[in-house]
Amino acid sequence: MKRIGVLTSGGDAPGMNAAIRAVVRKALHEGMEVYGVNYGYAGLVAGDIRKLTRRDVGDMIQRGGTFLYSARYPQFATEEGQLKGIEQLKRFGIEGLVVIGGDGSYRGAYALTKRGFPCVGIPGTIDNDIAGTDYTIGFDTTINTVLDALDRIRDTATSHVRTFVIEVMGRDAGDIALWTGVASGAEQIIVPEKGFDITEVADNIREGKEKGKKHSIIILAEGVMGGNEFAEKLDAIDNFHVRVTVLGHVQRGGSPTARDRVLASQFGAKAVDVLKEGKGGVCLGIVNEKIIVRDIVETLDNMTHTPNMDLFKLNEEISN
Ligand code: ADP
Q: What is the value of ipTM here, to two decimals?
A: 0.94
CA of 193 to the centre of ligand 1 (A): 23
Same domain, residue pair 198 and 183: yes
Tell whether the model's pLDDT for residue 265 goes beyond 80: yes
Could you tell me if the CB of 85 is within 6 A of ligand 1? no
Give the residue, 215 or 64, on which the prediction is more confident.
64
Residue 104 is labelled as binding a ligand: yes
pLDDT band at 215 (very low <50, low <70, confident <90, very high): confident
CATH number of domain containing 43 = 3.40.50.450
Residue 314 domain-assigned (yes or no): no
CA of 101 to the centre of ligand 1 (A): 9
pLDDT band at 320 (very low <50, low <70, confident <90, very high): confident
227-264 pLDDT tens trace = 999 999 999 999 899 999 999 999 999 999 999 999 99
177: CB partners within 8 A, 6+ apart:
168, 170, 189, 190, 191, 219, 220, 221
pLDDT band at 61 (very low <50, low <70, confident <90, very high): very high
Same domain, residue pair 130 and 145: no
Residue 206 domain-assigned (yes or no): yes
Residue 313 domain-assigned (yes or no): no
CATH number of domain containing 151 = 3.40.50.460
Phi and psi dihedrals of 217, rounded to 5? Answer: -110, 125
Same domain, residue pair 103 and 62: yes
44 touches 89 (CB < 8 A)? yes
pTM: 0.96
pLDDT band at 58 (very low <50, low <70, confident <90, very high): very high
Mean pLDDT along residues 27-45: 98
Among 304, 318, 55, 35, which Cα is nearest to 188's?
A: 318
Name the residue with the closest Cα to ligand 1, atom 9.
Answer: 104
Distance CA 312, CA 199 (A): 18
Q: Side chain identity at 279, as an amino acid letter?
A: K
Same domain, residue pair 165 and 246: yes
Same domain, residue pair 186 and 98: no
pLDDT number for residue 159: 82
Q: How many domains does the chain have?
A: 2
Same domain, residue pair 133 and 266: yes
Same domain, residue pair 71 and 45: yes
Residue 64 domain-assigned (yes or no): yes
Domain boundary among 191, 221, 253: 253
Could you tell me if the CB of 236 is within 6 A of ligand 1? no
Residue 222 is labelled as binding a ligand: yes
pLDDT number for residue 232: 97
240 touches 232 (CB < 8 A)? no
Domain range for 94 is 3-138+256-302
- Sheet with 163-168: list strands edge to edge: 188-190, 216-221, 163-168, 243-246
Same domain, residue pair 41 and 179: no
Same domain, residue pair 216 and 295: no
Residue 211 is labelled as binding a ligand: yes
pLDDT number for residue 161: 75
Residue 318 domain-assigned (yes or no): no
pLDDT number for residue 26: 98
3-state secondary structure the chain: CCEEEEEECCCCCCCHHHHHHHHHHHHHHCCCEEEEECCHHHHHHHCCEEEECCHHHCCCCCCCCCCCCCCCCHHHHCHHHHHHHHHHHHHCCCCEEEEEECHHHHHHHHHHHHCCCCEEEEEECCCCCCCCCCCCECHHHHHHHHHHHHHHHHHHHHHHCCEEEEEECCCCCCHHHHHHHHHHCCCEEECCCCCCCHHHHHHHHHHHHHCCCCCEEEEEECCCCCHHHHHHHHHHHCCCCCEEEECHHHHCCCCCCHHHHHHHHHHHHHHHHHHHCCCCCEEEEEECCEEEEEEHHHHHHHCCCCCCCHHHHHHHHHCC
Among 149, 147, 156, which Cα is nearest to 178's?
A: 147
Could you tell me if the CB of 72 is within 6 A of ligand 1? yes
Same domain, residue pair 275 and 130: yes
- Active-site annotation holder among 12, 48, 127, 129: 127
The minimum-distance atom of ligand 1 relative to the CA of 72 is: 14
Tell whether the model's pLDDT for residue 169 goes beyond 90: yes
Same domain, residue pair 157 and 209: yes
Distance CA 13, CA 19 (A): 11
Percentage of residues in the chain with pLDDT exceeding 70?
100
Is 127 among the catalytic positions?
A: yes
Residue 310 domain-assigned (yes or no): no
295-317 pLDDT tens trace = 999 999 999 999 999 999 999 99
Tell whether the model's pLDDT for residue 157 goes beyond 90: no
Tell whether the model's pLDDT for residue 27 goes beyond 90: yes
Percentage of residues in the chain with pLDDT exceeding 90?
94
Distance CA 206, CA 90 (A): 64
Phi and psi dihedrals of 30, rounded to 5? Answer: -90, 5
Residue 270 domain-assigned (yes or no): yes
Tell whether the model's pLDDT for residue 89 goes beyond 90: yes
Tell whether the model's pLDDT for residue 93 goes beyond 80: yes
> What rounded mean pLDDT belongs to the chain?
96
Same domain, residue pair 59 and 48: yes
Residue 169 is labelled as binding a ligand: yes
pLDDT number for residue 252: 95
CA of 210 to the centre of ligand 1 (A): 49
Residue 241: how many other CB atoms lie within 10 Å: 11
Residue 170 domain-assigned (yes or no): yes
